[in-house]
């Protein structure tokens, strides 16, 4: 028996790869996960940990190109595009700009809304049924506004969600302060998304990894992908720094690293890394907010847990530039301080950065490749990997191992990019 061979070989041990592994194992497949670091060491680790059907609206909407261009001069802007020359990023930005119209906004919103709603519907049973200890709380999320014009500018967001059948409640300033007395005066209003939830993302990923191993799956750490051994249109073997492995089916769930590894197969994935930042305290403030918050004008996400407290978000397009940017970390602190009486947690604080896998049309890429006979994709989830993980795992497992998928796979198909 070849111990290096499995029914499905999953490249990537983040939240998406592990969710795919879990659902494939439950479908009866043998699974091996290849991870260059440790499970969840990429953007699955330091993100805000919110589960947000409310984020169905894509970034691709009219006016976003102007916002991006204005950010060229502001390194602390919530959306920042580094002006340094980069041909791959320039191609991606041009493609992204072409999708910034109302038709594509509605199409992407419907696709994102469907997978977000399905994932949210699965999550309660997944956490309870698999015994995942990750501080999951179905408490809802509050978008907080200090400017009436920003509130009004988000009307397409509200209309999209209501068109998808999601519950969105509009609150005035007094109602918001009654719900969250830790906010500063001057709140213009808020949107309450009762269907949203939160969890501790590092613990969620660690728990998924635990269950994958308990169900018989293998997770190879320290296994960076170096080369593919090909047999015609089929991937025969994957060479890594941790050994050589093979699978009847191979899944690319590499997040932001997908386009880099895709080049080894002659594939140009329409993706760019969107760099995000967070600050995590070991204890919450003395009086933490009840809901998770999006401080809308500052574009700062606030996530309180029993075990800690996190400020996060921002979007920076700087290619694969590594490292912390103190300007953007400071912007998180300033943004929170403008809205909250207790903007920071207690105890030690840990800064973090990571790359989000941003697709050119703001819709994930899930399903079999049109170019490689045994390759499938589960990537390009943008800022919504945690939120979309359960439904992505279920969908991919259905496509590879049956039964017929609950979710229509067509909107996420790699065929739309001839991949």
Give the rounded percent of residues in the chain with a pLDDT score beyond 90. Answer: 84
For 113, residues 6+ apart whose C-beta sits below 8 A from its C-beta are 53, 56, 160, 161, 164, 166
Is residue 240 over pLDDT 60?
yes
Count the Cβ atoms, other than its own, within 10 Å of residue 270: 18
pLDDT of residue 85: 83
pLDDT digits (tens, 9 = 90+) for 33-77: 999 988 877 777 789 999 999 999 999 988 887 777 676 666 677
Average pLDDT over residues 105-111: 97
Q: Which residue has the tokens 């998928």?
A: 405
Q: Which residue has the tokens 């519950």?
A: 167
pLDDT of residue 100: 93
Average pLDDT over residues 82-108: 91
Element (H, E) at 10: strand 5-11
Crossing angle, helix 102-129 and helix 155-163, to 10 degrees? 60
pLDDT of residue 73: 61
Out of 142-151, 160-169, 318-327, pick the least confident: 318-327
Distance CA 262, CA 258 (A): 6
For 403, residues 6+ apart whose C-beta sits below 8 A from its C-beta are none
pLDDT digits (tens, 9 = 90+) for 116-154: 999 999 999 999 999 999 999 999 999 999 999 999 999
Q: Which of helix, strand or coil describes residue 292?
A: strand
Is residue 418 over pLDDT 90?
yes
Is residue 161 over pLDDT 60?
yes
Higher pLDDT, 329 or 80: 329
Measured CA distances, 137 to 33, 140, 260, 392 (Å): 28, 8, 36, 21
Tokens of 161: 């969600």
pLDDT digits (tens, 9 = 90+) for 181-199: 999 999 999 999 999 999 9
pLDDT digits (tens, 9 = 90+) for 274-316: 999 999 999 999 999 999 999 999 999 999 999 999 999 878 8
Q: What backbone phi and psi angles, to 5 degrees, belong to 8?
A: -130, 130
Average pLDDT of the chain?
94
Give the rounded percent of residues in the chain with a pLDDT score beyond 70. Answer: 97
Q: Which residues of 203-225 are buried (b: 16+ CB within 10 A; e: fewer)?
A: bbbbbbbbbbeeeebbbbeebeb
What domains are there in the chain, each with its CATH number? 5-417 (3.50.50.60)
> 83: exposed, middle or buried (C-beta count within 10 Å: 0-12, 13-18, 19+)?
exposed
pLDDT of residue 1: 41
Reported in sequence order, the residue ranges of 297-384 that DSSP labels E, i.e. its strands, are 300-305, 308-317, 346-359, 365-368, 375-379
Element (H, E) at 123: helix 102-129
Rounded to 5 degrees, what angle do the CA atoms 315, 292, 115 make?
A: 65
pLDDT of residue 72: 63
Is residue 252 over pLDDT 80?
yes
CB 80 within 8 A of CB 317: yes
Tokens of 18: 């592990």
> Of 402, 89, 143, whose CA–CA distance to 256 is shortest?
89
């Amino acid at each position: 028996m070849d111990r290096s061979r499995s029914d499905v070989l999953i490249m990537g041990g983040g939240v998406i790869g592990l969710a795919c592994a879990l659902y494939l194992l439950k479908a009866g497949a043998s699974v091996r996960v290849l991870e260059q670091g440790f499970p969840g060491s990429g953007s699955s680790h330091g993100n805000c940990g919110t589960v947000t059907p409310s984020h169905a609206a894509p970034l691709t909407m009219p006016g976003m190109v102007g916002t991006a261009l204005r950010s060229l001069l502001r390194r602390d802007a919530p959306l920042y595009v580094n002006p340094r020359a980069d041909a791959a990023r320039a191609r991606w930005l041009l493609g992204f700009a072409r999708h910034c119209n109302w038709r594509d906004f509605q199409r992407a919103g419907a696709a994102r809304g469907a997978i977000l709603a399905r994932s949210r519907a699965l999550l309660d049973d997944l956490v309870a049924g698999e015994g995942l200890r990750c501080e999951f709380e179905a408490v809802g999320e509050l978008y907080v506004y200090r400017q009436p014009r920003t509130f009004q500018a988000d009307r397409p967001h509200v209309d999209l969600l209501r068109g998808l059948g999601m519950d969105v409640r509009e609150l005035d300033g007094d109602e918001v302060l009654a719900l969250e007395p830790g906010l500063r005066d001057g709140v213009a209003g808020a949107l309450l998304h009762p269907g949203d939830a939160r969890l501790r993302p590092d613990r969620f990923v660690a728990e998924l990894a635990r269950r994958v191993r308990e169900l018989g799956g293998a997770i190879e750490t320290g296994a960076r992908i170096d080369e593919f051994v090909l047999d015609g249109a089929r991937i025969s073997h994957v060479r890594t720094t941790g050994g050589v492995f093979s699978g009847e089916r191979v899944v690319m769930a590499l997040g932001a690293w997908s386009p880099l590894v895709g080049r080894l197969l002659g594939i140009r994935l329409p993706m760019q890394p969107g760099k995000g930042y967070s600050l995590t305290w070991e204890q919450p403030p003395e009086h933490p907010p009840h809901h998770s918050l999006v401080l809308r004008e500052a574009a700062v996400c606030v996530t309180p847990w029993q075990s800690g407290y996190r400020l996060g978000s921002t979007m920076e397009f700087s290619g694969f530039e590594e490292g912390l940017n103190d300007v953007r970390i400071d912007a998180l602190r300033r943004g929170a301080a403008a809205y909250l009486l207790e903007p920071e947690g207690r105890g030690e604080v840990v800064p973090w950065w990571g790359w989000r896998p941003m697709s050119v049309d703001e819709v994930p890429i899930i399903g079999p490749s049109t170019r490689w006979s045994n390759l499938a994709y589960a990537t390009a989830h943008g800022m919504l990997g945690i939120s979309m993980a359960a439904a992505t795992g279920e969908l991919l497992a259905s496509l590879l191992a049956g039964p017929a998928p609950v979710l229509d796979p067509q909107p996420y198909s790699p065929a739309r990019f001839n991949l």
